[in-house]
Structure 1
Amino acid sequence: MSVMGKMAEGTAAREYLTFRLDQEEYGIDILKVQEIRGYEPPTRIANAPAFIKGVVNLRGTIVPIVDMRLKFHCAQAEYNSFTVVIILNLHQRVVGIVVDSVSDVMELPPDAVRAAPDIDSAIDSGSITGLGSVGERMLILLDIEKLMSGEDMGLVSAE
């Protein structure tokens, strides 16, 4: 393999959908996103964890809705005109996540991504793929598939 071939391998920029939760900005792989919808109250499911708001019927598919603000222990979770649901397609399972707002789609080259520090937080550190920096903005990059397949979620089985 040529030197150029080696350099091109694994150095492609990746696109992330960025969204806000409280004061933080997060990024998830755009390829996992199916669509973005306005928030509508889901049908509540008895005995579900508090962060699972319920389910919605999306064109015949029953989709569980996870409030990421509750999952990440944000100070408050208020629903307003900016609140959106990001519909994700994970392991052939459709899941919706409630976030404060969607910012934009951002392309990050590998040199703009740093390893996440190993600290205790509301997010399992294995679900954070790194920290992306663009100018003054700092993004927490999530492995949304890993996060949604955590045992406490009970939503997606890792295959």
Structure 2
Amino acid sequence: MNIFGGAGKLSTQFVAAGTSIMGTLKGNALVALIFGSAISVAEWKEDLRKDGFDLAAALLTNLLKVMLTAFITSLIVGAIVVFVLVVLKAGLSVLVIGGATLVVGFGIGYGIDLSDKLLAKGISNKGDANSIAEIVAPVLRAAGEKVISHWNYLVWKFKSDYRVEVF
């Protein structure tokens, strides 16, 4: 994550926010994403009713939440830095900016997790969903069934082109 959040010009702030999103896929943020994904895998393995679509939905939702957290945190920290530099005409040390990034990041992460739960309860038909992943999983499952259906049709229609071989 860009620690200064692109402070200076608005265009550089959005570039820094985009860089922060890509930063979630490398370095320490990647380690955090891997640990979060490992927790999702452990939860998935614990519940025998869940299938691979539930795991895929949980991992995709985790990735989206981490990327959204990085984007919003970068914008907020950049705005704070611009405010302090321009309005208050004061300088900031890198440690203060780093601390602000951590505090804002934790706050945004908590807010996104909370909004994930509240949004899932609001969108869910029954109102008992705990995460958007529980809403996305049936959609992925239906898409997988549709792909299998089309594949079976192709195998039936073009027997010579699509042979099913078991290894």
Superposition TM-score, scaled by structure 1 size: 0.24
Decide which structure has the larger Cα Rg and report it: 2
Instruction: Compare the two structures and name the one with the higher helix fraction.
Output: 2
Instruction: Compare the two structures and name the one with the higher strand fraction.
Output: 1
Superposition TM-score, scaled by structure 2 size: 0.23
